[in-house]
Amino acid sequence: MSPSPTIDPAAALQLVINAASGRSAADAKGALIDSVLQAAGRRGELHFCQPAELSAVAQQATAKALATGTAVVAVGGDGTLNTVAQYAHAAGCPMGAVPQGTFNYFARTHGIPTDPAEAVRGLLGWAAQPVQVAAINQRLFLVNASMGLYTDLLEDREAYKARFGRSRWVAFWSACVTLLRAQRQLRLHIEQGIEARDVRTLVL
């Protein structure tokens, strides 16, 4: 097993903040995170981005974190964490998470507080721990990988959130609308080792 990466406490943590919920909300999160860091005598560089910019910003922040001996930190939901993890894993850069999504499956699995201030305080006293990841066609994922109905549910949920705001009720109603809509069936050819089979399914 590789040794745990060391973090230079004098270096600024590189925080990637998904501003999908609006810049004012993102600014408020950034100000809170910055105040927690300052109170602990630490520094952070905040990288705000819209979803379309997330991959590029995550790649840049990861490269800077690696060059300065610090960690890249994803601030957002599971999708944001997944994108940042893609670059952190490829670069061998330590990564932290400040969960700010609707469900926060990754955070709940690993006991990360969903309160942003508590999550940042936890990061500052961290000891790097390995977590389980998987990949399909070189695409990393932390929670799950899916095709078909489930991806439709997620895409519709994000569209509804952009229009009506982020809440569990919006997520619930968007799921109802998706399920009531006519669904397409997938035709898949699945190979595992020497075995192969063809399947028809709504979701994988």
Q: What are the boundaries of each domain within the chain?
A: 13-141, 149-201
Taking only the tens place, the pLDDT of each residue in 36-55 is: 999 999 999 999 999 899 99
Looking at 77-86, 105-114, 155-164, which range is the least confident one? 155-164
Q: Assign domain 13-141 to its CATH superfamily.
A: Probable inorganic polyphosphate/atp-NAD kinase; domain 1 (3.40.50.10330)
Q: Maximum CA pair distance of the chain? A: 58
Under the banding of pLDDT at 50, 70 and 90, the label for residue 4 is low
Task: Please tell me the least confidently modeled range out of 17-21, 36-40, 70-74, 181-185.
Answer: 181-185
Give the count of beta carbons closer than 10 Å to the beta carbon of residue 88: 26
What is the percent of the chain with per-residue pLDDT over 90, rounded to a whole number? 43
Q: Cα(133)–Cα(85) distance, rounded to whole angstroms?
A: 9
Ramachandran region, residue 66 (left: φ > 0; alpha: ψ -120 to 50; beta: rest): alpha
Mean pLDDT over each residue of the chain, to the nearest integer: 87
pLDDT of residue 1: 45
